[in-house]
Amino acid sequence: MLYDLCLGGVSYPALHLALIIVPDAPLNIYDLTRSELSDLLVSIGVNPAHTARVWRYLYWECAETFAAMEEVPARARQALASRATIGVLPTAIETDSGDGFTRKYLLGLTDNERIETVLMRFTGRVTACVSSQVGCAMGCVFCATGQMGYTRHLTVGEIVAQPVHVQRALRAENRRLRNIVLMGMGEPLHNFDAVMKAIDIFTDGTGLGLAADRITLSTVGVVPGILRLAREQRKPFHLAVSLHAATQAERAAIVPAARKWQLDELMAACRTYSETTGRRIFYEWTLIEGKNDSPEHARAVGRLLGDLPAQVNLIPLNPTQGYDGTPTRSEAARKFQDVLIHEFGIPSTVRQRRGIDIAAGCGQLAVAEKS
């Protein structure tokens, strides 16, 4: 059964619909946790002792075919190939930024939909920005993904395949992926179950092996999802909440989801999350010149967050074709940050910009209509 989510009078698929199932599609092995892989081997008559080796080939060696798993017995490889596929996402377009720090991939899906994934280089680490949906139902006015609308959720395997794709590219440089941010296309908490299972796979110590605290999930403020995270006591990844305004009226004007989950309800959920988990939340604030970037706006943020364990990440607006706002100038961003830090004692950073010249920055990911 499907339950509709209504934002601004428009119905969208509900929070609890986690996967799109394609009839008669072969099993994507990236959909499986390590224990599920072991169960699969048993079901096809293969000794489950081979689980660890297959898993290492999938996530450490980034094998693209079962045939490439040379240390796995041939009979086991053949049995796997008869029942499953390795859901490698083909690259339609690969684009590098002018400074060489960022690479954006346009990846194809089996139903001919497409998503974007980004590799970002920082000093001492490489981060993958991962998508969770084709498009997005939340409709944030300054976000290119929101402007394109919602098509469908990604499956677990489609989410997992993205950082594996990045790691495969890094192997040529003898480097490892260090961080994942679920800040690409889509709202992760709208696709809750698939995203949480993908995080379990990311953090499996014998695969990609990322520590939970190297994963950040960004939400526009899906209150049921935040409360569910609090109840379920998930692995301690970082939660980021896109705030962008400190009053209900201002927030609803740029974040349509605020009409469904109003600001006071969102802040109550954030308080519950922090009190239950003992973790601080990163609040994201897109700085738009003349809209939300004054010292008074900063003071409103300080009063809103009050005594919550919080950090504010300031993000100067990145340009998109569907929104005519202007990014805040660096001096205004500095003054905003100073107010938060010195008047309210709230830690704050201004996000390093990456890939703006190739539309790979925060809020810029989108897929043009297919010809």
Catalytic residues: 116, 362
Instruction: Give, as one character, the DSSP assignment of residue 339.
Output: I
Select from 129, 118, 32, 117 the least CA-distant residue to 83. 32
Q: Does residue 267 come out as left (phi exceeding 0), alpha (psi in the -120 to 50 range) or beta?
A: alpha
Q: Any idea which residue has 């009979």 for tokens?
A: 75
Which residues 6+ apart lie within 8 Å of 322 measured at CB? 141, 144, 147
Angstrom distances, CA of residue 335 to CA of 138, 331, 340: 30, 6, 9
Which of 237, 250, 241 has the alpha carbon at shortest distance from 282?
241
* Cα gap 255→117, rounded to integer Å: 23
- One-letter identity of residue 87: G
Residue 339 near residue 287, CB atoms below 8 Å: no
Say what angle helices 330-338 and 295-305 make with each other, to 10 degrees: 40
Alpha-carbon distance of 253 to 149, in angstroms, equals 17
Residue with tokens 């601080």: 280
The residue with tokens 């199932």 is 21
The length of the chain in residues reads: 371
Location of structure tokens 């041939």: 74
